[in-house]
Amino acid sequence: MRISWNWLRSLIDIDNLSPEEAADILTGTGLEVEGVEKFEPVPGMLAGVVVGEVLTCGKHPGADRLSVCTVDIGQDGPAQIVCGAPNVAAGQKVLVATIGTELHAPGGEAFTIKKSKIRGVESHGMICAEDELGLSGDHAGIMVLDPAAQVGTPAARQLGLNDDHVLGIGLTPNRSDAMGHWGVARDLVAAYNHRKGAAAKVLLPSVEAYGQGEEGRTVAVEVQDAQAAPRYAGITLTHLAIGPSPAWMQERLMAIGLKPINNVVDVTNYVQHELGQPLHAFDADKLAGGKIIVRKARAGEHLVTLDGKDRALHTDDLLIADAEKGACLAGVYGGAHSGVTEATTAIFLESACFDATTIRRTARRHGLNTDASFRFERGVDPEITVYALKRAALLLQEVAGAKVSSAITDIGTPRPWAEVDLRLARIEQLGGVSIAPEQVAGILEALDCKITSRTDGAWRVQVPPYRTDVTREADLVEEVIRIHGYDQVPVPARLMMPALPHPEMTPEGFRLQVARHLAANGFREVMTPSLVNGARAVKLGAANDDALIHLKNPLSAELDVLRPTLLFGLLQAAAHNIARQQPDLRLFEQGRTYAMADGAHTEAEHTTLLVTGRRWLETWRSSDRPTEQADVKEVLEGLLQRMGLSDGASYKTVPHPLLANAVQVSYGKHLLGVVGQVLPTVAKAMEVDQYVFYAEVQDEVLYKLVHGHRTVYREVPRFPVVRRDLSLLLDRAVTYADLERIARQAERKLLREVGLFDVYEGDKLPAGKKSYALRFILQDPQKTLTDEQVDKAMGRIRQALEKEAGAELRG
């Protein structure tokens, strides 16, 4: 949320405070200021542009459409300037960009004014039009100022331009009270007074001048759903002249990132960001029957909103309607037919408190996120509904010539103040800091709380309705501590921690160990959204539509189902990095997948890996090579070995909808996961145009295996190992995993390791064949092996490979 410092300063009576100091105080209260940036309504604030007086103006000797002027700019002597504007004349007060000035035209690049010759005549500056100064797009002629303007006055001062500082606040969802400048000012003043011992106040704009005019024009209001609209107020204003809002209002709106539209819309936006209360203006002449009805939408009803979209309404949508049809999606978005236009002369101005849940569901249902819905979804102050109307009406009288033509319609009752008991001792127990009772009282009263009783260190406190998040004693303690300042809570000199036995491994601890292992092996963890596009998931074969879990009210059509696989998120992360010249990636993610099975939702935890690009970069000692599927399989094997499960793992080629050459990883009868190359069609659908390899492990299965696995101490063998190699001719369909399994089954006692150290597939072999060279490590932990024992063991292995795998021994 963006907060204008000039605007904020107008609401507090503190003079000796810089925006940086205010940012520090607000951050200490929990309103974290993420940055302070300078704002200029015109880039550069027209530095170098001054008021000048045209002393003489004559025709250019070499161009009919140019004039040669002498201009007094308040310096040593008049400057000669060539001007092409048709309206330039002697005696005018104008704005002159002096030599060296940098100007920023709207939508264009900055340019610097230099001494130049134009058709042979020297020009020492430029007499400026509005567009050349970046004030507007008007290039009809130069700006002619009031004759009373003083020569040499800087343009920014002459035009009343003011720079500003903008505080970017990271607002947490519970702080609905700080969704406007008033709420931020309240916290700033409370914290400033507490820390400085001052007595500053929040200067809420006065509405004492509000009053109804003589003309009577009333829009009747009927609230049919008081639960969805617990308070609804409005007034009718007439004699409006639609036009631009004044510069001071435009500056403040632009500072917080809003584009000025017209005086009526700007006032509603201004009050919304000042008080945190959204307003909506209806063209009163377009309300059929001169009536407003607050009701739920009817079945089959439609509304064309301000963006021109025809929206099919849900019967749970709250609608602001006239006597015939809908006029506005309450608290979310206005209707096109009732909006304010340049021809509007009368409006009905709405200020309401809508049910937060109703507005949130409507906004999600229609994929809308507006400034109004942002506030209503979190809850607005029901006690400022009428005040906001009066404030807006007075501003409209000032900037649009409006007249109040009706009494205020106010339907509903304010929300009662909640009562919370507070034991003063709990402040130190929970907050770790001792605060005097009179200071606690001052903090609570500065936050609009009322202390209704005080008995032996136990107080009863009434909390204002706009603080919907303060319901418990701990919440009140938090309010006191944050205004005291989180940064003021002392850190103990010593932290005492009791000795604890090593706890049994939990699923969370196990997942952390897995993550640390992968990070130590060069992988970077990513976190991707749990929402994906359902149509794409079905098209690519990740799941059938009936197996997907669809959201009832998706924020976007692109994110409408819970993910059936983590692959899509990893591919999007890869695409993001590849597009930024980072093609060599080793990523992992731990997260859940979701599916429908037998009419019920199921969730599964997974650890997934994605590897693409080069395996390693070239150095003076070695050259690079692209990543292969075997590299990912090697990572999985390392993970299993880290968990003590390397001996019993098996691998089997299986079909997979998203992977080519997919290999299923099992441990005994337990399915652990799968590894393979992502199909090129799937990768390209995610904008990845290079080979990608993917592995997926079922965390629950791996955890149970690790949890049930006993780590047994084994003495380092004292007797030597023996290595034997076999070169085998095999059918191409035979895998290394098959050979390892067969060998281990054939020799269970002495075989310690099996490894593949050479692969050959070429035209020197028969068709459909390949050659594998395997090493076998044998060892007896009790004694030294004899040649006879080794030969018998290798004979059993060779026979098994020949019989079960069709292997032929090569010479």
What does each C-alpha distance from 527 to 149, 534, 569, 588, 808 come to in angstroms? 60, 19, 8, 9, 49
Contact 461, 416 (CB under 8 A): no
Q: Counting runs of H as helices and runs of E as strands, what totals does the chain give? A: 20, 42
Q: Which value, in Å, is the radius of gyration of the alpha carbons in the chain?
A: 38
Torsion (CA) 331, 333, 337, 342 in degrees, nearest 10: 100
pLDDT at 213 over 80: no
Contact 465, 497 (CB under 8 A): no
Q: 33-39 and 318-321 as β-strands: parallel, antiparallel, unpaired?
A: unpaired
Range 501-520 average pLDDT: 87
Residue 547 carries which DSSP code? G
Contacts of 159 (CB under 8 A, 6+ apart): 46, 135, 247
At residue 798, the 3 state secondary structure works out as helix
pLDDT at 108: 62
pLDDT at 262: 95
pLDDT at 731 over 70: yes
pLDDT at 138 over 90: no
Summarize pLDDT for 524-549 with one digit per residue, the tens: 999 999 999 999 999 999 999 999 99
Summarize pLDDT for 320-344 with one digit per residue, the tens: 999 999 999 999 999 999 999 999 9
Give the residue from 595, 499, 488, 603 showing the smallest Cα distance to 547: 595
pLDDT at 645: 83
Query: Looking only at Cα atoms, what is the longest distance across the chain?
Result: 119
Give the residue from 31, 32, 29, 8 showing the smallest Cα distance to 18: 8
Summarize pLDDT for 243-255 with one digit per residue, the tens: 999 989 999 999 9
Quote the CA–CA distance of 452 and 470 in Å, as a whole number: 16
Residue 135's pLDDT band (boundaries 50, 70, 90)?
confident
pLDDT at 606 over 70: yes
Contact 292, 220 (CB under 8 A): yes
pLDDT at 710 over 80: no
Residue appearing with tokens 């001169």 = 290
Averaged confidence pLDDT in the chain: 92
Q: 220-223 and 291-296 as β-strands: parallel, antiparallel, unpaired?
A: parallel
Amino acid at 170: G
pLDDT at 214 over 90: no
DSSP for 666-729 reads EETTEEEEEEEEEPHHHHHHTT--S-EEEEEEEHHHHHHHHHHPPP---PPP-S--EEEEEEEE
Kindly state the tokens that stand for 97: 């960009």
Quote the CA–CA distance of 425 and 404 in Å, as a whole number: 53
At residue 117, the 3 state secondary structure works out as strand
pLDDT at 502: 65
The torsion angles phi and psi of 27, rounded to 5 degrees, stand at: -60, -40
Range 25-41 average pLDDT: 93
Sign, CA dihedral 583-587-591-595, equals: positive
Sign, CA dihedral 437-439-442-443, equals: negative
Q: 808-809 and 722-731 as β-strands: parallel, antiparallel, unpaired?
A: antiparallel
Residue 487's pLDDT band (boundaries 50, 70, 90)?
confident
pLDDT at 286: 95
Range 159-186 average pLDDT: 92
Q: What is this structure's pTM?
A: 0.64
Quote the CA–CA distance of 660 and 678 in Å, as a whole number: 6
Chain centre to alpha carbon of residue 809? 62
Quote the CA–CA distance of 255 and 302 in Å, as a whole number: 36
Range 146-157 average pLDDT: 94
Range 648-661 average pLDDT: 89
Share of the chain above pLDDT 70, in %: 99
pLDDT at 506: 87
pLDDT at 397: 96
Share of the chain above pLDDT 90, in %: 78
Summarize pLDDT for 289-309 with one digit per residue, the tens: 999 999 999 999 999 999 999
pLDDT at 554: 84
Quote the CA–CA distance of 586 and 685 in Å, as a whole number: 20
Summarize pLDDT for 231-246 with one digit per residue, the tens: 999 999 999 999 999 9
Range 61-86 average pLDDT: 93
User: Cβ-count burial of 659 within 10 angstroms (0-12 exposed, 13-18 middle, 19+ buried)?
Assistant: buried
Contacts of 364 (CB under 8 A, 6+ apart): 553, 554, 555
